[in-house]
Structure 1
Amino acid sequence: MTEILDGEALAAEVREGLVAAIERLADAGARPTLATVLMSEDPASETYVSMKQDDCAEVGIEARDIGIDPDAPAAELYDTIDDLNADPEVNGILVQMPVPDHVDKRRVLRRIDPAKDVDGFHPENVGRLVAGDARFKPCTPHGIQKLLAAAGVDPEGKDAVVVGRSDIVGKPMANLLMQKTAGGNATVTVCHSRTDDLAAKTRGADILVAAAGAPEMIDGDMLSEGVVVVDVGVNRVDADTEKGYELVGDVDFESAREKARAITPVPGGVGPMTRAMLLYNTVKATAQDAGVEVDLP
C-alpha cells in the first residue's frame, strides 16, 4: 500500500520539538523574533504571512508584521531591511515574495544580513550550502529532507530526479541530495523546461521531487514502480467547488499513487514543512546570535 507522507503531522512534531529550544533560549534571555515584510496586496501572499505569524505564536516566537505600500519607492523596502538588520532584537528577516516590479528582487536578497536570512537565499548562504557548510538550509528543501527521513527513505545510492531549477526549490534541493552527508549521497538529475524526453528521466527515478509549477504535468505513466514522489507544486485550477477552484500539485496524484511506494499529498504535504522549517531557522539564528547551544528537532 502506498504511504501518504503527512506533512501536517510531521510539521506539528517539529513545532513541538522547537518549544524546548525556545524555552532554553528564553532562560538565557533570548527570545526568537521573526520580522515578516510584505510589500504586496496579493491575497495569497497576505495569507502566507498570516499563517507564518500564527505558527510563530504557537511555539513562542515573537512575530513582527511590517507592511509596505506596493506603490512606495523601492528605497522604502531597502531602508526597512537596513533597520531590521541593525535591530539586535530581530533574529530572522523574511521578505515575502513576490515584490513589485519596480523593486530589484536580487537586491532585496543581498540586502538582508546573512545571519538573519532565515530563508537561506542570500548569496553568502547559497554559497555555504553548495560548499557543504550551510548556515541555513532553504525551508522547502530542508522540509523535504525531513519528510524523507521520517518515512525511512535514505537517498544514499539512489537515483534522484528533481523537476524544476528554481533558486527556491530545485537548485538547493539538488544540492542537498548530492551532499556527502546524511540525507544526501544521491545521484541527482535536474530536469527543466528544456529537458528532452522528460518521461525517460522521471522513469529512472528512485526519488522524484516535482517542483516545476505546472499542474499535474507528471502522471503515473512517467514513473517506475516503487518510486518515492515528493510534490512541491501548488497550482490553482478551475473546479466545480464552492470556491470555483481546487489546488493540485505538479503530479497527478491518483495515477502516481498506483506506482509510488510513498507520495506527498497536495495540500498537506510539503507546504506545512516549509513553514515549520522557517521556525526552525529562526530558532537556529537566535541560538547562533546568543551563543546558546540548543537541541533542534
Structure 2
Amino acid sequence: MTAVRMDGVATAAAVKSELVDRIAALKARGVFPGLGTLLVGTDPGSLSYVAGKHRDSVELGIESIRVDLPATATEDEVRAAIVALNDDPAVTGYIIQLPLPAGIDENAMLELMDPAKDADGLHPMNLGRLVLGVSGELDSPLPCTPAGLVEMLQRYGVPIAGRRVVVIGRGLTVGRPLGLLLTRKGLDATVTLAHSRTVDLADEVRRADIVVAAVGVPGLVKADWVKPGAAVLDVGITRRVNEVTGKAKLIGDVDPEVAEVAGFLSPVPGGVGPMTRAMLMANVVAAAERL
C-alpha cells in the first residue's frame, strides 16, 4: 500500500479560488478585505510564515497591512500596535504571530484583540464559541490550522463521523481546538488528545482511523504505529539547517516510511501549511462579509 498524498498546495489553491467571487462581491459594495499581521522579533520561521500570508493576500486582492516590531519591543509597545490594528478600518482581520518574545504575556495580548478582527480564531471569546459549538464563518472564526485539517479531510473524502482520531499535541493553535472541532455535531469524531505524558502512545495511535501529529518532534510517528489505511496528517515542523550548505530543511513529525502503511498522508512541507494560510484568507473574507 502507498498512501494517497494529500496535496495541501493544490487543495489550498482550490479554497482560494472559491474566495475570488466573494472578494469581488465585497468590493462591489465598497467593502475591501484587509489582512493585518503583527510580528515581534526576527524568528526565521515567523518571518517566513508572515511573508507567505501576505503573498496570499496580494494574490487574492486582499489589502495587506504589516506591522513589524523589534524583539526588544516592550509589552506596552505591543499593546499599542494591537490597539492600532483594532482601530484601523483597512484591517478587517489580523493575526498576532506567535510565539511572542519571552516576557510578553501572549494570553493578555490575545485578549486585547477585537474578537471581530481575530483572523486566527484564538481570542478567548472565539475559542469559547468553539466550545459552545456555534463558531464558523457566519458567526466567528475557527482556528486556521484545525479548520484547514478538516477541510483537507473532507475534500479527500476521508470519513470523519464515528471514526477514532488521535491528535498528538495539546497546544492552543492545533491540538485543543482541533479536538473540539472534530467532536462537534456534523463531524462527530471520537477524539483522543494525546501528549507528552500519554502512556503507551504508540498503542493509542494504532487504534486510530485518523492521526494528527502536532508536537514538533521529527519522525515521532513510526510506520508500525499506524493502522493500515489510516489517514495521517503531519502538522509538526522542525527547521533543520544543513551545516555545510547553510540551507534550512523542514522536517515533520511523521516518519517517511508511514507512506507505505497509511491510506492518506499529508507531507511536510506542502501539506497542512498551505491549508492554514488558505483558511486564514477565508477568515479575513468572512470577517469583511460580517461588516
Q: Shorter-chain TM-score category?
A: over 0.9
Equivalent residues, number: 286
TM-score normalized by the length of structure 2: 0.95
Shift of 1:245: 4.6
Q: How does 1:1-297 map to 2 (within 5 A)?
A: 1-134=2-135, 135-181=140-186, 184-237=187-240, 242-253=245-256, 255-289=257-291
Q: Root-mean-square deviation (CA), in Å?
A: 1.3
Query: For residues 256 and 241 of structure 1, do their structure 2 counterparts lie closer, same or farther at Cα, with a shift above 3 Å needed?
Result: farther
Give 1:77 shift.
1.1
Q: Which deviates more from structure 2 when the two are superposed, residues 208-217 or residues 242-251? A: 242-251
If the length of structure 1 is used for normalisation, what is the TM-score?
0.93
Name the CA shift for 1:241/1:188 in 2 (closer, same or farther; >3 Å). Answer: farther
Structure 1: distance between partners of 2:46 and 2:24? 30
Q: Take 2:229 and 2:38, find their aligned partners in 1: how far apart are those partners?
A: 42
* Cα drift, residue 47 of structure 1: 1.6
CA distance in structure 1 between the aligned counterparts of 2:15 and 2:247, rounded to whole angstroms: 33
DSSP-derived class of the 1:100 partner: coil
SS in 1 for 2:281: helix
Write the distance in 2 (CA, Å) between the matches of 1:233 and 1:146.
Answer: 18
The 1:239–1:100 alpha-carbon spacing in structure 2 relative to 1, beyond 3 Å, is closer
SS in 2 for 1:205: coil
% of aligned pairs identical? 44
Q: Which consecutive residues of structure 2, in runs of 5 or more, have no partner in the other structure?
A: none
The 10-residue stretch of structure 1 (236-245 or 47-56) with the greater mean CA deviation from structure 2: 236-245
- Which segment is superposed worse, 238-247 or 65-74? 238-247
1: CA distance, partners of 2:40 / 2:247: 27
Q: After the TM superposition, which parts of structure 1 deviate over 4 Å for at least 4 consecutive aligned residues?
A: 238-241
Q: Is the 8 A contact 2:63 2:90 kept in 1?
A: no
For residue 145 of structure 1, report the CA deviation from its aligned partner: 0.6
Runs (5+) with no aligned partner, structure 1 = 290-297
Structure 1 stretch displaced more, 258-267 or 41-50: 41-50
SS in 2 for 1:280: helix
Separation in 1, partners of 2:36, 2:247: 34
Q: Distance in 1 between matches of 2:243 and 2:208?
A: 34
